[in-house]
Structure 1
């Protein structure tokens, strides 16, 4: 069975996308589907390459029973567009930056569209306090639950065909 690969993307890869990676991985593991997914995160910028997630993202994840402190920020690479089935951006600016890097990519999605069905941006909590990180966590949790349900229960994804989500 082909694993479904998902890359969560935000601007610096220290707040939203590492939290999304942690939430989705945690939910997949709890559901007994961890072996069905390859999950990673990246940023559109390179400011934080090699850094661990923001201390507030780490604290939020820890508060909810997850440890994301081992993750390290990285910038999206050209081959990511071919290597990942889904590239899930946290906001429209991230989508635009990704499309500028690979205008032909058909696997770029806004988290708010794909996972939440609302079209909303996941706001960047970087310049705020812990409450902003909790609000982001709540949206990511809701979306990752829906995404896992869609991908984990879909008969096409079980056969390795993820064209229905591209």
Structure 2
């Protein structure tokens, strides 16, 4: 059975497509390609149908990740088919938990940086949209650091299902 993860930020053009691309690559490297489905969306529909921000694409491609993406809005009905909904900051976490139809589905929502043991108390991935390219580089660093712990958690869930 496929384990489904969806990353969510505000407009689905910067942080969440970056996290989607990185985590998809990590899952493939770990041999979990057919076992883990990775997706992303935004809490708002401002950029629906648009490609990822060119700075996101540029940073991803320079670091060996894919940059193809089309933005869309997260729909509450998706909770039923998802195993894990990963919020990129605490505002997204709150918004997603409010959207969740049940308490059980609200518990599927987690902060990405909660999977990074070096993150400390600041678990938000800052929105790089209004800044410069270095903000996108920093975003990628945070996403990569958290993806290691997230991959370990997903692998553990998959092993638990197989047992």
State if a TM-score over 0.5 links the two structures. Answer: yes
Q: Is contact 1:4-1:160 (8 Å) kept?
A: no
Aligned equivalent of 1:19: 18
Q: Is contact 2:113-2:143 (8 Å) kept?
A: no
**1:60-88 Cα deviation digits (max 9, x unpaired):** 1000111222x111100121111110000
Residue 150 of structure 1: how far off its partner (Å): 2.5
Tell me the TM-score normalized by structure 1: 0.88
**How far apart in 2 are the matches of 1:96 and 1:135?**
23
Q: Is contact 2:23-2:147 (8 Å) kept?
A: yes
- Corresponding residue SS for 2:24: helix
Q: Is contact 1:10-1:90 (8 Å) kept?
A: yes
**Where does structure 2 lack aligned partners over 5 or more consecutive residues?**
none
Aligned equivalent of 1:112: 113
- Corresponding residue SS for 1:157: helix
Tell me the TM-score normalized by structure 2: 0.90
**How far apart in 1 are the matches of 2:59 and 2:161?**
33
Match of 1:99 among 75, 82, 97: 97
Match of 1:88 among 82, 86, 89: 86
Aligned pairs, number: 156
Aligned equivalent of 2:57: 58
Aligned-residue RMSD, C-alpha: 1.5
Residue 160 of structure 1: how far off its partner (Å): 2.8
Aligned equivalent of 1:40: 39
- Between 1:115-124 and 1:77-86, the stretch displaced more is 115-124
**Where does structure 1 lack aligned partners over 5 or more consecutive residues?**
162-166
Q: Which runs of 4+ in 1 moved over 3 A?
A: none
**How far apart in 2 are the matches of 1:160 and 1:77?**
26
